[in-house]
């Protein structure tokens, strides 16, 4: 009868962890939205991108005129010697000069066009870098979410196991008192309970670490997290995933755009070897308080052409260096493609492995439950001992922990695969959040001629 009570406790103790009360729980989408809105890494990368937008405005400024106003004033004393009764005469005047100058570049050897092109490529590259950071943060949030949910489940399983083993020990001690089991079997039950307590302490420590990692990425932590279903909108096959990665992986896109910017830089430096043409206009007023008063006005308009002949070889050296950088960027692009293929293949295999393991562990749970029930019945008729029951309980615990871990692995693997193929952004995931639009700030910065204020891009 005592063993029947023990079996009821075992059944209740190993309640399905994923059906626990979810009051106060945060969904994975809510965690992703919070990370997208508030994670400092994403916010910092957005600020970096806005700074890059200003690079386009700076490049365009070479098409715009430069206007300056200068003015000078002061005192001027002139001493002169005159032959006659007055041997010396001194004159103090207040000269004043004001000048307005306008300089307009007409042609800079193609440098302005190349500078604008380079700046635009850099902006696009930094947008890809922002997307990489966004994917990294969202993947980190999904991973941390899965870790916490898994570790909460594992901790609850270990707590349930500890409670069951406490009842097991009580039942074994009662049976020892009436001579049904030996002292050795009591010691075995005590040993297994001590191990369960150690496992529960270790599981709690692992959960604390996971909670800290979650808070770092997301910013806060609710009481409970529930393991959710993995993503379903995934590539249909590994070749399909690799094709998507080659085109959409943000590491590949970033490397391609950096290469384009390097090519524009070669053209920009090469422009220093070509002639340049500048239009200069000025208006000048000169006044001097002499007697009679002196005043003059000068208007001028000039065109200046500059033809570089030889500049110590430094420009040509910089061109050669820039071409080497282009070669470097092209090789880095080729490596980025290889890295994307490797990441995609690895993510695909991890996902397939995780799915297969889930089925295996679920089958193991069913088998372990049947085995434990059978061992319990055999103990009642005397054909099995306490150690057999303890071993069966441990196998069931291990199988259930395995299910929790592989469910987490499958969940994270789907997010990792989406990241590898460039589809783990807030837009691609369809998160319920107002998306950051980098184009708004870019257009404002591109056409801004005045102002010192720096906005946040909204």
Six-digit token string for 128: 């890809």
Cβ density class 154-191: b for 16+ within 10 Å, e for less: bbbbbbbbbbbbbbbbebbeebbeeeebeeebbebbee
The strand pairing partners of 102, in sequence order, are 67, 281
The answer to whether residue 294 scores a pLDDT higher than 80 is no
pLDDT exceeds 90 at position 384: no
What was the pLDDT predicted at 368?
A: 83
pLDDT of residue 374: 84
State the SS3 of the chain. CHHHHHHHHHHHHCCCHHHCCCCCCECHHHHHHHHHHHCHHHHHHHHHHHHHHHHHHHHHHHHCCEEEEEEEECCEEEEEECCCCCCEEEEEECCEEEEEEEEEEEECCCHHHHHHHHHHHHHHHHHHHHHHHHHHHHHHHHHHHHHHHHHHHHHHHHHHHHHHHHHHHHHHHHHHHCCCCCHHHHHHHHHHHHHHHHHHHHHHHHHHHHHHHHHHHHCCCCCCECCCCCCCCCCCCHHHHHHHHHHHCHHHHHHHHHHHHHHHHHHHHHHHHCCEEEEEEEEEEEEECCCCCEEEEEEEEEEEEECCCCCCCHHHHHHHHHHHHHHHHHHHHHHHHHHHHHHHHHHHHHHHHHHHHHHHHHHHHHHHHHHHHHHHHHHHCCCCCHHHHHHHHHHHHHHHHHHHHHHHHHHHHHHHHHHHCCCCCHHHHCCCCCCCCHHHHHHHHHCCCCCCCCCCCC
Could you give the percent of the chain with pLDDT greater than 70?
89
Task: State the average pLDDT over residues 267-273.
Answer: 95
Can you tell me the mean pLDDT for 239-245? 96
Q: Dump pLDDT digits (tens) for 126-174.
A: 999 999 999 999 999 999 999 999 999 999 988 988 888 888 888 878 8
Q: Give the C-alpha separation, 186 to 171, whole Å.
A: 9
Cα separation, 218 vs 207, in Å, equals 16
Per-residue pLDDT for 28 more than 80?
A: yes
For 393-438, how does the pLDDT look when each residue is reduced to its tens digit (9 = 90+)? 888 888 888 889 899 999 999 999 999 999 999 999 999 999 999 9
Scan for tokens 């820039």, then name that residue. Answer: 322
Task: Round to whole Å and give the CA distance between 368 and 365.
Answer: 5
| All domains in the chain, ordered by first residue | 2-65+110-274+313-446 (1.20.1600.10)
Do 264 and 118 touch, CB atoms closer than 8 A?
Answer: yes
Structure tokens at 335: 């490596």
Q: Is residue 292 reached through a cis peptide bond, with omega within 30 degrees of 0 on the bond before it?
A: yes
Residue 5 reports pLDDT greater than 50:
no
Q: Is the pLDDT assigned to residue 120 strictly greater than 70?
A: yes
Position 122 scores a pLDDT of 96
Q: What share of the chain in percent tops pLDDT 90?
A: 58
Residue 6 pLDDT greater than 50, yes or no: no
pLDDT score for 295:
82
Q: What is the pLDDT of residues 45-100, one digit of tens each?
A: 999 999 999 999 999 999 999 999 999 988 877 766 666 555 556 667 788 899 99
Structure confidence at residue 21 (pLDDT):
38
Q: Which of 68-77, 230-239, 251-260 has the highest mean pLDDT?
A: 251-260
Structure confidence at residue 390 (pLDDT)? 77
pLDDT of residue 83: 62
**Cβ neighbourhood burial of 285 (10 Å; 0-12, 13-18, 19+):** middle
pLDDT digits (tens, 9 = 90+) for 333-351: 999 999 999 999 999 999 9
User: Residue 192 — pLDDT band, cuts 50, 70, 90?
Assistant: confident
Instruction: Work out the mean pLDDT of the chain and round it to a whole number.
Output: 87
- Res 340: pLDDT: 97
d(CA 6, CA 165): 9
91, two tokens: 């004159």
Q: How many C-beta atoms surround the C-beta of residue 260 within 10 A?
A: 19
Rounded average pLDDT over 360-385: 80
């Amino acid at each position: 009868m005592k063993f029947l009570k023990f079996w009821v406790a075992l059944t209740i103790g190993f309640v399905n962890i994923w059906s626990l009360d979810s009051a106060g729980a945060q969904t994975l989408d809510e965690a992703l939205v919070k990370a997208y809105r508030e994670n400092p890494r994403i916010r910092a990368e957005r600020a970096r991108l806005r700074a890059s937008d200003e690079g386009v405005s700076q490049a365009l400024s070479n098409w715009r005129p430069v206007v300056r106003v200068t003015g000078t004033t002061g005192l001027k004393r002139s001493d002169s010697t005159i032959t006659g009764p007055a041997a010396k005469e001194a004159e103090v005047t207040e000269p004043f000069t004001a000048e307005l100058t306008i300089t307009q570049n007409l042609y800079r050897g193609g440098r302005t066009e190349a500078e604008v092109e380079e700046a635009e490529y850099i902006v696009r590259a930094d947008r890809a870098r922002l997307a990489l950071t966004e994917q990294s943060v969202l993947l980190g949030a999904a991973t941390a979410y899965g870790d916490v949910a898994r570790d909460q489940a594992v901790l609850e399983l270990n707590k349930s196991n500890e409670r069951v083993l406490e009842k097991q020990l009580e039942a074994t001690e009662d049976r020892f008192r009436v001579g049904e089991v030996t002292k050795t079997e009591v010691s075995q039950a005590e040993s297994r309970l001590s191990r369960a307590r150690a496992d529960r302490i270790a599981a709690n420590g692992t959960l604390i670490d996971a909670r800290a990692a979650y808070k770092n990425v997301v910013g806060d932590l609710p009481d409970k997290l529930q393991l959710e279903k993995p993503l379903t909108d995934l590539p249909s096959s590994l070749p399909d995933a690799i094709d998507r990665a080659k085109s959409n992986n943000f590491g590949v896109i970033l490397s391609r755009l950096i290469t384009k910017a390097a090519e524009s830089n070669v053209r920009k430096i090469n422009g220093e070897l070509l002639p340049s043409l500048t239009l200069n206009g000025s208006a000048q007023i000169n006044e001097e308080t002499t007697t009679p008063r002196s005043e003059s006005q000068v208007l001028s308009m000039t065109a200046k052409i500059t033809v570089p002949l030889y500049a110590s070889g430094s420009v040509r050296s910089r061109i050669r260096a820039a071409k080497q950088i282009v070669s470097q960027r092209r090789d880095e692009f080729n490596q980025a493609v290889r890295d994307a293929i490797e990441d995609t293949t690895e993510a695909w295999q991890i996902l397939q492995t995780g799915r297969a393991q889930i089925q295996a562990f679920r089958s193991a749970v069913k088998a372990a439950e049947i085995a434990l029930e059978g061992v319990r019945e055999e103990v009642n008729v005397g054909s099995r001992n306490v150690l057999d029951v303890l071993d069966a309980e441990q196998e069931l615990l291990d199988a259930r922990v395995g299910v929790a871990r592989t469910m987490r692995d499958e969940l994270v693997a789907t997010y990792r695969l989406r990241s590898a193929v460039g589809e783990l952004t807030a837009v691609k995931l369809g998160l319920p959040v107002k998306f950051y639009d980098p184009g708004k700030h870019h257009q404002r910065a591109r056409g801004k001629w005045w102002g010192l204020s720096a906005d946040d891009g909204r």
